[in-house]
Amino acid sequence: MELQGKGAAPGVAVGRVYVYNKKISIPAERFISAGEEQSHLNRYLSVKEQALEELEKIKVSMSKVDPSKAEIFGAQKEIIEDIIINEEIPAKIKNERWAGDWAIYTVYETVLSVLRKTADSLIAERSSDFEDVRALLLRFWNNETTTGLSDLAEPVIIAAEDLLPSDIGAIGDKKNILAILLEKGGITSHTAIIAKSCGIPAVVCVSQLLEHVKNSQLAAVNADEGKIILDPDNAIVGDYNKKKEIFLNEKKETAAFLKNDGCTACGVKIDIGLNISSADASELGASEYTDSVGVFRTEFIYMGRSTLPTEEEQFLIYKKTLESYGDRPVVLRTLDIGGDKKLESTELPREDNPFLGNRALRFCFSRPDIFKTQIRATLRASVFGNLWLMLPMVGSLDDIRKAKEFITLTKKELKKENKPFKEIKIGIMIEIPAIAYIADLAAKEVDFASIGSNDLIQYLCAADRMNSAVEEYYQSFHPSMLRLIKETIAAFDSAGKPISICGEMGSDPLAIPVLLGLGMRKLSMGSASVAAVKRVLAGLTIVQCEELAAGALQLSTADEIKEFLNNKCSTGHTPRH
């Protein structure tokens, strides 16, 4: 029998299945008697300390495998110590007489309800960290000392509904995990990131997985293709073992590129930027291997909380990021909220078509109080590094001029208050076709630009990128997309202004040669893609890339372009990865 899911961490494995039915404690709604408040509060403080100690142990253990990914658990410690959460839980216990476990569950659920609703997969999947922390606190509250995976006696393929980062982190010998199969999960979740770091193949979103697999059942897993074969015959087992050997060799070769500069085979330097959605230690750990922060998606700072972040909170987060990168650019994108991304702290009107509604820069114009707080924090932080400010959802020169005027007025306020700031570069996201078609005019108004390929494709093809029903219409290699990218790059090059790409295309091995051939010299991506992108670059020359781009531009459909590029890779015109 064959099952299909989504590959979240690459690799191939053959082995016996261990079905992990995790017990999650969901407390009943319960209230306590007068006089019990202090004992429940003390118990909460005690389990909090136990959870912090547990996370520190996991962090130390994980640091032996991958120090940068160990900081995921440092970030989870920060969640436990979050100021808002640690005001809300004691308040529920003391003022409303909630039982401690019910207060823990409900306060975290309030945060999670916001994170789960967003259609932005990167932010939605960060909810696993909050779920992990809550599960850990409730485990200690109920005096449960193990996750059930810490004592694996032999190598197995783990099959579960879902796993949290601490489930993997608590496993002593990770060599006993041959692969991970999940009904739920996400390809950019911290669980997937840890699996990648540990070299564990992972397949997520496997429909009805637990209905089909059994304990001790033999399975063959190809996570590159998201494929699972149950009860494989000897021929398949032999084939998969060969694939596993090839994968391990490839992985070792790719990892060797992480510390290299991003350079083509002909010596052209390509700027490697990092996409981040918070400034936690797990993300900033990649600063050692990247040239810049290509985009800091600041909306995550606002989401999952009952109050808006203050100027001081934002200032400290931006300051920490800038200090991590020193003189290297940190591109901070202003609040991109609205549409699919909601704020618990601010009620947004319901819109029939939110992706075309009051989102991002438009929302900031409608709420100048929120916009001003962020701009003040940004300008104040600018003295600690090389900060570039980027405006999302720009559709016209009017948008640019209005935002610049707002920034100028904010600078005047700070000067009056004697608060220092530096002059910063101001740029735009190119994600609305309207601004892409007048890129030559926009380049005269701003200092830089970044192509947000995800949204640009969505708006250009009129296909919601989160809607699987129209997935076939969302085409990265649509001929009009390549033509638009070419013209946009040319416009900014002519103006002597830098331009980058920060969507999924920037780390796609098939797209990279075309992007370089069209003139792109700055790519931004998630940390997990850095080594692989550097390896791709090292096997390319600009002449090869220009030839590929020219050939692709002559074709009529996305399928023709992808077939052309795949054929060129397979015939040795460009390296195959």
How many of the other CB atoms lie within 10 Å of CB of 96? 11
pLDDT in tens, 486-497: 999 999 999 999
> How far is C-alpha 17 from the chain's CA centre?
29
Higher-confidence residue: 251 or 371?
A: 371
What local confidence, expressed as pLDDT, does residue 179 receive? 93
pLDDT at position 382 over 70: yes
Adjacency order of strands within the sheet including 227-230: 2-4, 227-230, 218-222, 12-20, 156-160, 177-182, 202-204, 6-9
**Per-residue pLDDT at 417 exceeds 60:** yes
Question: Any idea which of 293-302, 428-437, 475-484 has the lowest mean pLDDT?
Answer: 293-302
Catalytic positions, please? 190, 502
Which stretch of 56-70, 147-161, 259-273, 536-550 has the lowest confidence by average pLDDT? 56-70
Nearest to 75 by CA among 160, 193, 172, 185: 193
Q: Are strands 271-276 and 6-9 parallel, antiparallel or unpaired?
A: unpaired
d(CA 362, CA 337): 9
Residue 9, H or E segment: strand 6-9
Stronger pLDDT, 538 or 63, i.e. the higher one: 538
Q: Which residue type is seen at 141?
A: W
Q: Is the pLDDT of residue 330 over 80?
A: yes
Average pLDDT in the 534-543 region? 96
Helices (H), 465-557: 479-494, 512-517, 530-538, 542-553
SS3 19: strand
User: What three-state secondary structure class fits 177?
Assistant: strand
Out of 35-44, 60-69, 352-361, 519-528, pick the least confident: 60-69
For 311-344, the DSSP string reads HHHHHHHHHHHHHHHTTSEEEEEPP--BTTB--S
Task: Report whether 575 contacts 539 (CB < 8 A).
Answer: yes
Q: What is the mean pLDDT of residues 220-244?
A: 93
Q: SS3 helix, strand, coil % of the chain, rounded to 5?
A: 50, 15, 35
Indicate the residue type of 368: P
Helix and strand numbers (H, E) in the chain are 24, 16
Backbone phi and psi for residue 454, each to the nearest 5 degrees, phi listed first: -60, -55
- The token pair at 484 is 């638009």
- pLDDT tens digits for 240-264? 999 888 888 887 888 899 999 999 9
Is the model more confident about 114 or about 82?
A: 82
Q: How far apart are CA 216 and CA 288, in angstroms?
A: 42
pLDDT at 358: 81
User: 37-63 and 127-141 are packed helices; what angle lies between their axes, rounded to 10 degrees?
Assistant: 120
Amino acid at position 281, single letter: A
Query: Is a pLDDT exceeding 80 seen at residue 280?
Result: no
Residue 237 pLDDT > 90: yes
Give the best-scoring range by mean pLDDT among 137-146, 206-215, 520-529, 553-562.
553-562
Question: Quick check: pTM over 0.75?
Answer: no
320 has a pLDDT exceeding 60: yes
Cβ atoms 577, 512 nearer than 8 A: no
Confidence of residue 147 (pLDDT cuts 50, 70, 90): low
CA angle at residue 25 from 24 to 28, to 5 degrees? 140
**pLDDT, tens digit (0-9, with 9 covering 90-100), for 24-64:** 668 888 899 989 999 999 999 999 999 998 888 887 777 65
- Within 10 angstroms of residue 43's Cβ, the number of other Cβ atoms is 16
- Average pLDDT score over residue span 417-424: 96
Model confidence band, residue 575 (pLDDT cutoffs 50, 70, 90): very low
Q: For residue 8, what pLDDT is reported? A: 86
Q: Tokens 């994600």, residue?
A: 431
- Name the residue with higher pLDDT: 484 or 69: 484
pLDDT at 69: 66
CA distance 221 to 232: 10
Which ranges in 209-354 belong to alpha helices (H)?
A: 209-212, 234-255, 281-284, 299-302, 311-325
Q: What is the mean pLDDT of residues 403-427?
A: 97
For the segment 214-233, the average pLDDT, to the nearest whole number, is: 93
Which one, of 494, 514, 527, 524, lies nearest residue 558 by Cα? 514
Assign 310 a pLDDT band (cuts: 50, 70, 90). very high
Is the Cβ–Cβ distance between 456 and 430 less than 8 Å? yes
* Nearest Cα to Cα of residue 322 among 404, 370, 378: 378
Average pLDDT along the chain: 88
| Residue 200: partners with Cβ closer than 8 Å, 6 or more residues away | 9, 11, 168, 174, 177, 178, 179, 180
571 has pLDDT over 60: no
Q: What pLDDT was estimated at residue 576?
A: 43
C-alpha angle 393-396-399 in degrees, rounded to nearest 5: 70
Residue 123: pLDDT band (50, 70, 90) is low
Write out pLDDT tens, residues 156-186.
999 988 887 777 776 766 778 899 999 887 6
pLDDT at position 71 over 90: no
CA distance 68 to 50: 23
What residue type is 182 in one-letter code? L
The residues, any chain, with a CB within 8 Å of residue 472's CB and separated by 6 or more, are: none
Based on its alpha-carbon atoms, the radius of gyration of the chain, rounded to whole angstroms, reads: 25
Stronger pLDDT, 203 or 471, i.e. the higher one: 203
* Backbone phi and psi for residue 374, each to the nearest 5 degrees, phi listed first: -70, -40
Write the pLDDT tens digit of every residue in 177-216: 899 999 887 665 667 777 877 778 999 989 889 999 998 9
pLDDT at 272: 97
pLDDT at 139: 86
Q: Is the pLDDT of residue 338 over 80?
A: no
